[in-house]
Amino acid sequence: MDIVFIQGLKIDCVIGIYDWEREIRQDITLDIEMSTDIKAASETDHIDQTLDYKAVSKRLIEFVQGSEFQLVETLAEKIMQIIIEEFDVEKAKLTLNKGEAVTGAQGVGVIIERSRANYS
């Protein structure tokens, strides 16, 4: 399988378990690798034959900005479900970075991998 990726997608949202986190918007950063076959796109040179990373990005921005989950684990799982089910991706890997949520750390978050089998 080939990989279509989105790296460093920053989105603001409400995320966190503490009262003060429920009252502000925080940036999260997404790095996504999506397994897909790009052969048809390479032969036709047409966007309809590939996984459109702009369409994926726009959908995720819309979803994440409207979400208000407490845990990054929940948000990550919902993002993966959208990627796999709505964009017909066989397998994907997501790094969700909540940034400097822990003093002294450059980033914290989760890395998850899912396949179509996880959602059937």
Write out the catalytic residue numbers. 98
- Between CA 66 and CA 68 the distance in angstroms is 7
Tokens of 12: 């603001």
Residue matched to tokens 């726009």: 58
> In this structure, what DSSP letter does residue 102 have?
S
Q: Give the largest Cα separation in the chain, rounded.
A: 53
Closest by Cα among 96, 91, 7, 101 to 57:
7
